[in-house]
């Protein structure tokens, strides 16, 4: 398997950046959907059919958002673990980790 070398200090800065994003996701964003203001659908008014249609759309939005946040959470955990492994080995990373880090740094979606 091909290996790639990175600057361990740069890896640590990126790991800290991702850890900050993960902390915000787990401590602020996910709780809003699981226990906070977005846990339940808002009142959608009294127009005929408004509540029924909007409730279904909100449920779909909530489920999709929850699923995407869990994918993001898993991706961040994986990238942080890969970065930590690379840091622990003096900056070397396997090719898949190197490719994933490069794609994420460029803003690509790992699931695309």
80 has pLDDT over 60: yes
Dist CA 95 CA 64 (whole Å): 31
Annotated domain spans of the chain: 3-41+49-105
Q: Do the Cβ atoms of 69 and 33 come closer than 8 Å?
A: yes
Mean pLDDT of 20-29: 94
Average pLDDT, the chain: 81
So what's the pLDDT on residue 112?
46
Whole-Å CA distances, 27 to 65, 93, 103: 16, 29, 26
Q: What pLDDT band is residue 35 in, cutting at 50, 70 and 90? A: confident
17 has pLDDT over 70: yes
Q: Of residues 15 and 40, which shows the higher confidence score?
A: 15
Query: Which tens digit of pLDDT belongs to each residue from 98-109?
Result: 777 677 666 655
Q: Of residues 40 and 17, which shows the higher confidence score?
A: 17
Both tokens assigned to 7: 């600057």
Sign of the torsion formed by the C-alpha atoms of 95, 100, 106 and 109: positive
For residue 83, what is the enclosing H or E element?
A: helix 50-88
So what's the pLDDT on residue 45?
67
């Amino acid at each position: 398997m091909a290996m790639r070398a990175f600057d361990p200090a740069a890896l640590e800065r990126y790991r800290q950046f991702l850890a900050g994003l993960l902390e915000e996701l787990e401590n602020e964003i996910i709780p809003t959907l699981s226990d906070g203001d977005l846990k339940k659908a808002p009142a959608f008014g009294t127009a005929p059919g408004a509540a029924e249609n909007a409730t279904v759309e909100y449920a779909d939005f909530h489920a999709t958002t929850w699923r995407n946040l869990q994918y993001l959470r898993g991706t961040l955990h994986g990238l942080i673990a890969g970065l930590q492994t690379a840091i622990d080995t003096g900056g070397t990373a396997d090719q898949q980790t190197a490719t994933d880090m490069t794609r994420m740094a460029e803003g690509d979606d790992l699931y695309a």
